[in-house]
Structures are given as structure tokens and as C-alpha cells.
Amino acid sequence: MVKAIFEPDGRRVEARAKESLLKIAQQVGITIRSECGGKGTCGKCRLQVSPKQSVTPPTSVEKEHLTVKEMKMGYRLACQALVTGDLDVQLMVPRESRITKRRLQIEGITNPVTLRPVVHAVQVSVPPVDPTHPVADDERLIEGLRKRIGGKRGSWVIPMWVTRRIPEIIRESLGQVTVTLWDKRTVIDVNAGDTREDLFGVALDIGTSKLVASLHSLVTGNLLAVAGLENPQIRHGEDIMSRLSFAAKDPTNRAVLQNLILDSINLLLARLAQEATISLDHIYELVVVGNTVMTSLFLGLDTKYLGYGPFTAPARGYLNVSSDILNLSLPPQANVHVLPCIAGYVGADAVADILATGLHRRKRMSLLIDIGTNSEVVLGNREELTACSCAAGPAFEGAQIEHGMKAVSGAIERVSIHPDSMEVEVETVDNKPPIGICGSGVVDAVAQLAEVGLLTPHGRFTDYPTSRLLQDERGKRFILFERRDGERESTITLSEHDVSQLLLAKAAIQTGYRLVLDHHHLSPADLDRVFIAGAFGNYLNPASARVIGLIPRVPSNRVTFVGNAALAGARLALLSRTHRSQAIRLAKTTHFLDLARHPDFNQTYTSSLFLPKETEE
Amino acid sequence: MVKAIFEPDGRRVEARAKESLLKIAQQVGITIRSECGGKGTCGKCRLQVSPKQSVTPPTSVEKEHLTVKEMKMGYRLACQALVTGDLDVQLMVPRESRITKRRLQIEGITNPVTLRPVVHAVQVSVPPVDPTHPVADDERLIEGLRKRIGGKRGSWVIPMWVTRRIPEIIRESLGQVTVTLWDKRTVIDVNAGDTREDLFGVALDIGTSKLVASLHSLVTGNLLAVAGLENPQIRHGEDIMSRLSFAAKDPTNRAVLQNLILDSINLLLARLAQEATISLDHIYELVVVGNTVMTSLFLGLDTKYLGYGPFTAPARGYLNVSSDILNLSLPPQANVHVLPCIAGYVGADAVADILATGLHRRKRMSLLIDIGTNSEVVLGNREELTACSCAAGPAFEGAQIEHGMKAVSGAIERVSIHPDSMEVEVETVDNKPPIGICGSGVVDAVAQLAEVGLLTPHGRFTDYPTSRLLQDERGKRFILFERRDGERESTITLSEHDVSQLLLAKAAIQTGYRLVLDHHHLSPADLDRVFIAGAFGNYLNPASARVIGLIPRVPSNRVTFVGNAALAGARLALLSRTHRSQAIRLAKTTHFLDLARHPDFNQTYTSSLFLPKETEE
């Protein structure tokens, strides 16, 4: 038995060796186009598979329907490829093979931004060769650049990959070329004719549990496509500590983790380019954010000393690397820019969160909570900022919850329980029949159970008599949804174990915001605004979040949901060099609060494990 | 039948499939240590083989005598490895397997130089982590650098490869590290402890026929080792035009030529490091010279338009590339610096020739002739310089001459013929029994034959009655040496065809210097000095060279032999940034004389095909 993860929904199932991908998908209710019913004649059930060795080699039927290039990119027919049973398999259902579309919950707030990208393109006329004085091709290109934008001849750098292209391009175009420049002086591409519009960039947030990327035009700033994937490193540990210890176990493991993430980024990039119908060859910059562990593993840095105190980052970041060093499927000279980290695990994602919410420009005190497997909390204003990181674990992503799932079609995202009848009403994503419960649904359910008196402050079910409470060998559980549909029966429950998983996760975050507030001698009432970031944040019921203590007790009108603020911040740094230099300043000046060394950590954490009383805080 | 080339002597032989390397070597008189006589028990007959597939896979006997690392580096036992017969094979006889040593004729003139290398190393104390404020490892290294040499925090660039090493090194060394800097601001290496002495650089001349490299300490400037190899591209053409057309024939051929040269450079680098007993990991810079075709192929540039008029170079050069892009076996961040070219085929080697001879600093007019398969001629003084290139072909290297060979032990390098008796006296390299004739010997022989009246100005043998002149089905030939030694008979002759090969080669060079002199309205008498460069130059008899017209008619005391001046110039650029910037200026200001377009080219070339009369010029 191996694990199969279906993207973009992130549905995980156990799969048996020799089972076809189509059959595995059908068993868990994932609908893949298949007009011939799995006979291999329609060629519609296309999937992208990673790693390729996790399934049997392509059959002759597949070679008829797929091009060599597609097979190189991992495309297979779901009815033909069988799981080998040796390796876990990650499957991407491409748009053309999907029947329902997933809910897009991955964009962050979009701030207006004055476009000042680091990459720009200019049209250049390359002077022809004077046969009596044949000047080298690269020098003629520079001469053309000098005439077009001024400056000395020695001002430009042309990296090797570009130099190799110059002779062909300047002749094919009869000297009329478009030169792509990075930071004004590095020639990162040359193309024939006027291709100034073909200038794109990608913002990428590497989360502990998922990757989200957005594609933008660097000419208009427009958002062209968004795509997300599970973080494939999950197979080596749900949280950052277990990935760090996996990396430390064997010298090759760090490369294993790096390659997993690079392969997935290449999948994302291909998907973005496909959706926007642009060429990968015109994506010239990738701005990356993530916590310190994620960005360090992405860059292949030595993470050995990041796993124990004082949790020193191998590099502060603000790194510019050319894409060829990372084997990304971008032009070799495309620039990969990693935003700087603050300290410890408070990484480039926290810097991006600040950029996106403008915390550093506000006069009054604001609190930012970025909810994720690794969560960040930032408090402050334009005078002073303090940040810490909290190991919440993946409960909010639906993992470690028995019927948990991501917020895709059919996930319960809202729960209300009638205080007298104990009748339950649920709302699901896309109003589809319920098939599981996502993070915001669990928060709602726990808050409602507490409010109607079915849960003690310790997260135990009370003895209140209701048929919705079951007791079996695994303990007590509450029935959220039940249906009998002919032969098929479906029951979605929330167990005491699920409740304790949620309380552990919220305790980590609550400890974080309580200690940063203490550090500034502030109480929740002093907060002008509370920003809630994170993929699941937008669908969170703020009242429920307050009830369980996931966010401090402030009036609802002071709470703002900002979605994936880390991605939004990365986008700002992609589109504007002003924001990029701002990020460097923020990384240096934001104070790092090390919770692991905080004298009040244990006491605060222990008291945060409970559901707060109404009067508290 | 395939070709086998034995290095460092450059002896080429035809080899039959299934023959052992030891047997092939013995057939052509190359002596390889073999104490057991080829039984595989002594393990002494070690050779380096390239490419590995040109011989049968290692036997169990070899696996006993060679380490895995050695086998990876191409080491084999000559008695065990058999030629497959599919591929030509290049063989390096390492020093420990040789019985005689070859004559080292590969050093150039050594000018005193004030050491100002671009690479330097400093000792740095990295501040320890402050647990209350854990600063990232790379930032602490920069902090240490700042304390040591001043400057702003943002002044240094740390490339990815180095960043990956930092965490381990700074801890292992307890913060006491040596930082290697390129151009003051790029951190290209970090090592534990004080390793400031481990700072080396290599100068490399990529000739059309051979590669020569020298290893230097960048701390003392001392020469530590010199090594040479045949240019393995020879299998795809003896001269640059045939290599360019091979490269143009198929898109993959350019990579074939590039990889051949890169593999050989890696062999040379390993050899240099071995001879000087240093580690390849401490060679931080490689300065490369060569004609435009050689440096372009080395860098993998597009040579398509270099093959026909107006012979435009893909890049002027002055390129700094990190070694990882070229897959050289140096540290990934080691810098490869290619000196700039002038124009057409007048490349970085000509610039290096000028640097080494100081032509650009002399008040009076000097002429420089760099004799090689592709020869360069430069004329001028500190006011003005003019350069051209001449396609001499490989005759001076001993190729295309029936009994030709390189100037190694046993090669005839001096010939004198008694004008009455026609008795011949020969001198050989190392005074060994003659086995062939090298370039300087051929020049001597032709000049002597002309002087005693055995050759007409057209290079035909006269009818003078002497038993030394033979006539067979291949035409007339002159016996230079004859010996009967028991069973074995050895005769070394010079044929009319050999003479015409030499005259073609000298005509190319003579045309070059005559046209540059014309261009400046000068005659040989106006020349203050004539510099003769090139590997074979040092052993040339200037009187003979004058007789045949290879050099202009100037008094012998105005002729200076400067050996491999291109390598000497590369060495200057390696050791001194003053010379490096001088090279950029020289490449820009030296006038390029395009012989192919010169109106007098045909007439001058035709008249240069003859042996000059005494009164001429």
C-alpha cells in the first residue's frame, strides 16, 4: 500500500499496487474525464504523475495519445498507468481532465502598487558588421544598448547563456532585437523583433503544507494565473521540525527534500504558463517567500544547525540566484529572488505578510496572525515590530482530523448547532453534498459545541443526552452529517481526538500572540486591527475563532481577513523594487521574539490549551 | 583501425581493435614501465585513457591495482585495456609510468611582474551566535569580513555554492576561517583555519594543435608546474577552418568540440595539481588565451558566423565565467577569465603575445611572429599596433611531414649539410638516436638543401649527383639519416612533398609579415626587433629561418626567441590586474588587418611560395 495525493484538491488515499490511477480516483470520488470508460481509446483521462517511477512505464496506447514532450513532463493516461506500490505518488489533474473546478482560495489581498519591476525590456537596433572593422557580436549588441539607453560600454554584463544566443538572434532579426535587462545592467535575454510584452514574473509562497504561485505580467502588473500544490515534502514529515530531522539523518536527504520542492515548482510553473498561454521562456523572475526552513531547503542550504537552539539561519536571504543553479524550467538567466528572513523560523513569509498588510506604515498598533502549519505572529506599528513563529501543525489544513480535508468542493466550511434541539446545519464549499470537513468548519464546530455546552473547557464531550454523540472503541464523537443514499452511507463526525488536535494547534498560536502582546505591555483592547492571513483565513468565522481563542477578543469590525498575505507580499516585491528594498529593511529591524527561550512560554502554553472562558482577556 | 595518440609526446599511431595499449605503445617505441612484462602483476603500466569507451572495461586485475577514484579519472593498466576499435583513443603516460622524460619546451619568456592578482585571501574571525539575537551564518561571516577589511555590509556577494558551505565551516573552525575573495567583493571560498597560502591559479593557452598550462601560486607568483597535451579536437580537423565546418555541420558538433577540450583541460589540471602536490580545490582562477576559434569553442559560443567573411567573433571576450558553468574540475566559484580577442581570428593569444613581449611599451618598431598551426603577426610600437592571422597549418608541429614528430627525445632538431661532400650531420633532442624530425629540423634541412644547391627556389630537388637523393614511386627524397642496427633498419628522409608542405606553411606567415610591413610602409631594415614566439620557436635556427623566408632578413642580433609568449602573457594577466586591464585596452586599440580581404594578398602569397633569393628584401 502506498499513498496517492490528488492535486489540486490535495485528496490523499491509500492505493494498492497494480491499481490503475483512474480506479483509485473513482474510489475516492475524484471525477476525471474519461469518455471511453477506461478502455484507452479516448485519451481524455490525462494526469501529471510525480515521481515517474511510482507508476508502470507508458504503454503503447499512451504513446499514441501523448507526445514525447508530454511524457517527459509526466503526463500519463489514468486508465493505463498502474501504481507500482513502491513509491508514494503525487497526481495533478490538469484543467482539461477535470469535471468540477476547485474553489480558488489562494489569492492574498491585492494592494495597489506602482509598477517598478527589477526586470525590464528595451528594443535595440544592433549596428551591422562593418566588413573593414568586424566588431564582435556581443560588442555590437552593447553598442546598440548604449545608443538606446546611454551609459558606458563597460556598464553591461552579458552572462554566458545569453552570449551563446546572440549571433543567431541578431542575424535572424536583421538587428532588431528586444533585450531583457535585470537591474538595468545585466542582459538576461535577447529575442528577435519586438517582444517587450513577453515579460512575466512569478510570486511563490512555499508553505510547509502547500505551495501557491501567481503569474504576473511585468509590463501591466496584471495577475494572469494562480496555481497551488501540496508541499510534496510532507511524505518526510508534516511539520518543519520533522523535516529538519529527516534532513539531518543522512547527507543525501537534504537533496531529496530540495528536489521534491524543485520538481513541484516546475509543475506549478508549467501550469501557470499553460493557463495564461504564455511561454516559460518569458518568465524572467521568481520571487520566493516561505519560513526559514522552507527557503533554506529550496536553496539547498545547510539546515543542520537550524534544527536546534539558537536556531541560526544558514543565510539571511536577499539572495539572487540564477535559475540554472536550481534547475528550474525557466530561462537559465532568470533571476530567483528569495526575500530575507527575520530570525529563527520567522522567515521571508513574515516579511511578505508585513509588506502586504502595511503593518510597518500604520500609526496604531496592529496584530497579524498568519495561520498555517508553521504560523507567524507579528505585532507593531511604524515605530517598532515584533515577530515570533508558532508550530501549529497541519490541523488547520484538515490534516490529523479524521474526516478532515482541504477547502475544496464538498468540504464542510460552516457549522451551526441549535442550542436546544442540537440540530446541525452545515454549509459546504460549492454547496456540494458533504464529503469531509475543512479547517474553518472544524473551528466553527468546536466553537458551536462549546457554546451549546457539549464541550468542556478541556475539550471533552459532556454527558448531555443527544443521539448525535456516539461512543465507540476510539472514544466519543459528534455526528456532524449523516446520509443514507441507497446502498451508500456517509457519516461525518468530529471526535474528541479531533478537538484536542485543534486545541493543540490554536494553543500554539494563542501563546504566540499573548507573549508578543505581553512583550509590548499591551492587551487585546489596545489593538487597532487584527489581520488574519493564511489560506484558510478568508473562510474563518471570526466569532468562532474568538470563542476558541484562536484570535484575541477584539470586536469583529477590527478583524480583517487578508488571505494569502505572504503571496501578496511576494507579488509586491516582484512588481516593485521599492517594496523589495523595504523588505530588506524590515528583515533587519523587526525584533525577533524567541518563544522557545521565553521564560513564560510553558505557563502560557499550558493555559492556552483550554477553551477560554467568556470573561478572559 | 583507430588512431591512438600518446601524450605528452603527441605520438600518433594506427591501432587495431583488441590490441592492448601496452603492445601499441611498444610498436612505436614508447617506453612504459612494466616490470612484469604485461602479466598484470606489477601494476606499473598506468595510463590515463580518454574517452573511457575507447577501450574495454576495467578487468578484475585492474580493480586490484587501481582505486575507484583513479578509474573515474580514466586510469587504466596498459597491459589490460584493449582498444575497442570504435573510437580514437587519447592516452596520457603519467610521470610515474614514463622511463624517459620529455623535453620541456612549453614555457614562455618570464617577465618580472608585480604581483596584483584578482584573487586574494584574508583571515576572518566570525563572531559567535548571540542566543538572544541569532544572526544568520552568512551575515556573521560578512560582519567578520567588515571588521577585518572595512566596507559596508552590502558590499560583499556570496554566491550560492559558498553560502551552502558556510554553516559547517564556521562551526568546525570555531569561527577562525580564511575567506577567498575575487575582485575584492565576491566570496569565492571559505575554509577552516588559516589557508591563505592555498591560493593558486592556472594560465592556459589553447592552441589549435596543443594545450599548454602552467600552475602558479597567487601568493608568491612562483611557477609550480607546467603541462601540455595535444588538442584532442584534432580528430575533427587539423586547422581552425576544418573545425569550424565540422561545428557547422550538425547542431551537436559544437558541444562535441567543447567537451573534448574541457575533458583535456581537466586532465591538465589534474596533472598540474598532482605535480605540485596541491589540491584542485585551491585553484581559484584560470586565465585562458587562444585564437578566436579556440576560445569560442571552449566557451560553447555560436561559431556559425566565424567561418565566413567578415569573420565576426561571437564575443569580444574579457569574459568572467564561473567554473561550474563549464564543468571544470575546479571549485564551482573559481573564475575563468578569457582574455579579449582583437578581431577575426586574431584572438586572446595575440593580445597575450603583446603583453608578454611588451611590444606596446617599446618606442621603436618591432615585429612579433607567433608560429603555430594558426599563426599571428603583430607589428608596431607604443603608438600603434597592427595584427593579422595566418593559416600556416600544422607542418611546424611535425604533422603532414612524412617523418615528422614533435620536439621530443630522438627528434632531429638541427641539420647541417657539407657543401662539397653532401655529408649530413644531425643533432637530436636529448642526443638520442634519431627517430624522426621536428619543425626546427625541417626548417634547417630545407635551408641547408637550398644553400648547397640541392633545392631550386620552387622547392624541387636538383639533379646534383649524390647517393643521398633517392627517387621512388612517391617522388624524390633526401636521406637525412640512415642506420642499420642488426636486424632493424631506420631511414629518415625529407621528400619533395615535405618541402612543399613547409613552403606552404612559411608562405602563409611570410605573406602576413610582408603585408603588415607594407601597411606601415616599412621594410625589414626598419625593424628594431623581431620576436619569434611559439612552442617550436626557441629551437629554430634564425639563419635557416631567414634563408627560407620564414622571418624577415634582419641581423641575427635583432631576433629574440620568446617561446610560448601567449602562455607567458596569460600568466601576466593571471598574476596582475594591471596587465589584465592592459589586455582590454590592447584588444580595443590594436588594428586588425584582414588578409582575406587584402587586395595584394594573392600576389604576395604566390610570390612567398618560393625560397627567396639572397638579394630579396
Q: What are phi and psi of B585, to 5 degrees?
A: -65, -45
The residue whose grid cell reads 567554473 is: B323
d(CA B51, nearest CA chain A) in Å: 26
Whether B310 and chain A come into contact, CB under 8 Å, resolves to yes
Residue contact B137–A305, C-beta within 8 A: yes
pLDDT band at B38, cuts 50/70/90?
Answer: confident
Tell me how many residue pairs between chain A and chain B have CB atoms under 8 A apart. 138
**If you average pLDDT over each of A97-101, B418-422, B604-608, B611-615, which comes out highest?**
B604-608
Residue among B134, B137, B312 minimizing CB distance to A137 = B312
Task: Note the pLDDT of residue A617.
Answer: 41
Q: Do A316 and B594 touch (CB under 8 A)?
A: no
Write out B181-246 in H/E/C secondary structure: EECCCEEEEEEECCCCCCCEEEEEEECCCEEEEEEEECCCCCEEEEEEEECHHHHHCCCHHHHHHH
Strands A374-380 and A385-391: antiparallel
Residue B99, pLDDT > 80, answer no
Nine-digit cell at A415? 457549522
Kindly list the distances between the CA atom of residue B118 and the CA atoms of A529, B1, B184, B213, in Å, as whole numbers in the listed order. 54, 48, 8, 19
Contact A315/B168, CB-based, under 8 Å? no
Q: What are the two backbone dihedrals, phi and then psi, of residue B325, each rounded to the nearest 5 degrees?
A: -65, -30
CB B6 within 8 A of CB B67: no
- Quick check: B314 and A167 CB within 8 A? yes
**What pLDDT score was predicted for residue B225?**
93
* A356 conformational bin, left if phi > 0, alpha if psi -120 to 50, beta if neither: alpha
- Rounded (10°) CA dihedral A487, A491, A497, A503: 150
Evaluate if residue B268 carries a pLDDT over 60. yes
For residues A509-523, average pLDDT: 97
A residues 204-223 near B, CB within 8 Å?
A: none
Question: Per-residue pLDDT tens for B384-439?
Answer: 999 999 998 888 877 788 888 877 788 899 999 998 888 999 999 888 888 889 88
The verdict on B616 touching A (C-beta cutoff 8 Å) is no
Number of Cβ atoms within 10 Å of the Cβ of A599: 6
Whether residue A550 contacts residue A510, with contact meaning beta carbons closer than 8 Å, is answered with yes
Residue-wise pLDDT tens digits, A152-201: 877 899 999 999 999 999 999 999 999 999 999 999 999 999 999 999 99
Q: Assess B317–A contact: CB distance below 8 Å, yes or no.
A: yes
Q: What is the pLDDT of residue A103?
A: 41
More confident residue, B233 or B152: B233
Q: Are the beta carbons of B145 and B124 closer than 8 angstroms?
A: yes
Q: How far is A430 from chain B (nearest CA, A)?
A: 45
Domains of chain A: 2-97 (3.10.20.30), 120-192 (3.10.20.880), 200-338 (3.30.420.480), 359-394+502-608 (3.30.420.40), 395-501 (no CATH)
Taking CB atoms and an 8 Å cutoff, what residues of chain A touch B163?
A: 299, 301, 314-315, 319
Residue A129: which of B167, B310, B341 has the nearest Cβ?
A: B310
Residue with cell 578484475: B60
Q: Is A136 on the interface with B (CB under 8 A)?
A: yes
C-alpha cell belonging to residue A54: 511510482
ipTM: 0.79
Examine the pLDDT at B103 and tell me if it is beyond 60. Answer: no
CA distances from A478 to A142, A419, A436, A472, B299 (A): 72, 15, 14, 11, 69
Show residues of chain B in contact with A302, CB under 8 Å: 164-168
pLDDT at B110: 59
Q: What pLDDT digit, counting tens, does each position of A407-462 carry?
A: 778 889 999 999 888 899 999 988 888 888 988 999 999 999 999 999 999 999 99
- How far is it, in rounded angstroms, from Cα B437 to Cα A443? 92
Find all residues with CB under 8 Å of B349, minimum gap 6, and list them: B205, B207, B289, B290, B291, B294, B370, B376, B566, B569
Q: Quick check: B136 pLDDT over 80?
A: yes
Q: Which residues of B touch A165 (CB under 8 A)?
A: 302
Inform me whether the pLDDT recorded for B615 exceeds 50: no
Subunit contact A316:B597, Cβ cutoff 8 A: no
CA distance B301 to chain A (A): 5
- Quick one: pLDDT at residue B101? 39
Tell me the chain A residues in contact with residue B344 when contact means C-beta distances shorter than 8 Å. 134
Dump pLDDT digits (tens) for A546-605. Answer: 999 999 999 988 998 888 999 999 999 999 999 999 999 999 999 999 998 899 999 999
Question: pLDDT tens-digit profile of B192-204?
Answer: 999 999 999 999 9
Show residues of chain B in contact with A247, CB under 8 Å: none
CB atoms within 10 A of CB A365: 18
- Is pLDDT of B189 > 70? yes
Q: What is the mean pLDDT of residues A312-328?
A: 89
Predicted TM-score (pTM) of this structure: 0.81
| Mean pLDDT within B338-353 | 95
Return the residue of B nearest to A309 by Cα: B131
CA-nearest residue to A584 within chain B is B154
Which is higher by pLDDT, A109 or B141? B141
CB contact under 8 A, A163 and B301: yes
CB within 8 Å: B163 and A315: yes
Does B129 reach chain A within 8 Å, measured CB to CB? yes
Q: CA distances (Å), B603 to each of A131, B376, B513, B515, B607, in order?
A: 22, 20, 14, 11, 6
Characterize the bridge pairing of strands A283-290 and A335-338. Answer: parallel
Residues of B in contact with A592 (CB under 8 A): 133-134
Q: Do B137 and A313 touch (CB under 8 A)?
A: yes
Contact (CB, 8 A) for B496 and B461: yes
For residue B580, give how far its alpha carbon lies from the nearest alpha carbon of chain A (Å): 15
Contacts of B597 in chain A (CB under 8 A): 131-132
**pLDDT digit string (tens) for B231-249?**
989 888 888 999 999 999 9
User: Taking CA A135 as the corner, what is the angle to CA A130 and CA A138, rounded to the nearest 5 degrees?
Assistant: 130
Instruction: Please give the backbone phi and psi of residue A400, each rounded to the nearest 5 degrees, phi first.
Output: 65, 10
